[in-house]
A and B are shown apart, each in its own frame.
Chain A
């Protein structure tokens, strides 16, 4: 990789050992992925729940946090993804004390590094959405795909170590979706059915993700007949990134880089092309319902709920009573508004529990299942459905309304 004078000084240790480690890490990654140089980034976003970090990862962070203050601080705004718990509700989730202690140690270390503990995966709805063409270093696949596709920003998937590196050096290796050439469509999806609810949008994302196949693919959707809202894009993108490891999509006539099809489909190029309709969406949803007539728990999470979703859920729960655990997981930015507007009180009066600053699958999901006797789970998040199978759950992908109905019927699913 070509390095500037400043980058060579970082590599030589002139900026201290944390920056030296960071630029070395970035050079190794950049070389592997064919980067020729670095690109400055304006923001970083770090995924680092302690179920992923483990004790070894937390100790690694603590060693970095023990460096002298001038040597350890991030140099660009650097924010955090959800934590592994909501400290106020950990006991109700039956999380063990060692999990809480480890989370607190990680937070203390991140704060020493200068990270702003936003604890959110919907920063594009609540903190500072990136603008078109802005180079950023974001973790959380849902954040990356939304920022790239809906905002027109430029980021690769930056896992925790690389996002922290970007925070420390203020740059990232220039490969992948920082480059114009990587942002053209590589497959086309002809959509004959525009989803109606968030669960449908997630299912469509899952289908397109499976068709795309890997990180370097960029699907272009044709035929969406209205402009989706932010929450719809959020669920679609999160599922697409989860099922396909995809970081960028275009929606012709909707997303900023694809106002016309030929903006992203090069002239004369023949791309893979697939048709997707309502039957495909219903088939994906039905595949998760198979053999499940009752669930143990209902979870709205992944991504965290927006204020609008919190309002929708409160409306659906009014006058009803959840008789199995029902969790609504939101961000620390949305939660105070939900409290102030009475949404939290309405959800909890109906037997639900509002959780803040965590995400269900990042919160020791396997251990929570074992401690609480949960196995069958209902959610409207296709992303959550895709992840939780590996944690021992049998997830059912339903609409928000059907999830609420199940929660209020002792978990029984409508046939």
Chain B
């Protein structure tokens, strides 16, 4: 089983189908949170549903709104299963902490190139070393 270790993680262990792009992530800038799709036309996942998917993206982008929005998305159940990033910003950590949402970040490789879009993956932030496993 291929395993990619991350520098940091929080939340519970989850399993799901990967939605992968070499692009950034901001809940405010990139998402139509009512429909559960990427809505910014320039985003590489424009039009794709993120609901229940393990989002694997490059870097946290944009402003501070995501810190509230993850909680609001979770309350409505229109939510990714987990967020996996090469580079995190504080807002993602703050939002994941409020929403009790699964997130890991910081890899020795570019995780957006290491995981195939559509692959079945397990995200495990609960161990001594947070990791992503290809299932």
Which A residues fall within an 8 A CB radius of B? Answer: 25, 28-29, 31-34, 47-49, 52-57, 60, 139-141, 156-162, 175-176, 213-216, 241-242, 244-245, 361-362, 366, 386-387, 389-392
* Given A159-B94, A215-B60, A53 and B72 contact (CB-CB distance below 8 Å): yes
Complex interface: chain A residues within 8 A of B134 (CB): none
In the docked arrangement, what's the CA distance between A214 and B95, Å?
17
Give the distance to chain B from A43, nearest Cβ to Cβ, in Å: 16
Task: Please name the residue on chain A nearest to B43 by beta carbon.
Answer: A390
Number of interface residues of B (CB under 8 A): 42
A–B pairs, 17, beta carbons within 8 Å: A32-B96, A52-B65, A52-B69, A56-B71, A56-B72, A60-B71, A157-B89, A157-B90, A161-B94, A215-B59, A215-B88, A241-B63, A244-B61, A245-B26, A362-B65, A387-B29, A389-B41
Complex interface: chain A residues within 8 A of B89 (CB): 157, 214-215, 245
Q: Which 6 A-B pairs have the closest CB atoms?
A: A159-B67, A56-B75, A54-B72, A215-B89, A390-B40, A214-B87
Task: Please name the residue on chain A nearest to B39 by beta carbon.
Answer: A390
In the docked arrangement, what's the CA distance between A141 and B90, Å?
11
Which B residues fall within an 8 A CB radius of A? Answer: 8-10, 24, 26, 28-32, 39-43, 59-69, 71-72, 74-76, 87-91, 93-98
Task: Please name the residue on chain B nearest to A386 by beta carbon.
Answer: B29
Whether A213 lies near B31 (C-beta < 8 A) is: no
Whether B90 lies near A156 (C-beta < 8 A) is: yes
Whether A390 lies near B28 (C-beta < 8 A) is: yes
Complex interface: chain A residues within 8 A of B31 (CB): 390
In the docked arrangement, what's the CA distance between A216 and B68, Å?
22
In the docked arrangement, what's the CA distance between A213 and B43, Å?
15
Give the distance to chain A from B28, nearest Cβ to Cβ, in Å: 7
Among B60, B61, B94, the residue within 8 A (CB) of A158 is B94
Whether B41 lies near A159 (C-beta < 8 A) is: no
Complex interface: chain A residues within 8 A of B60 (CB): 214-215, 245
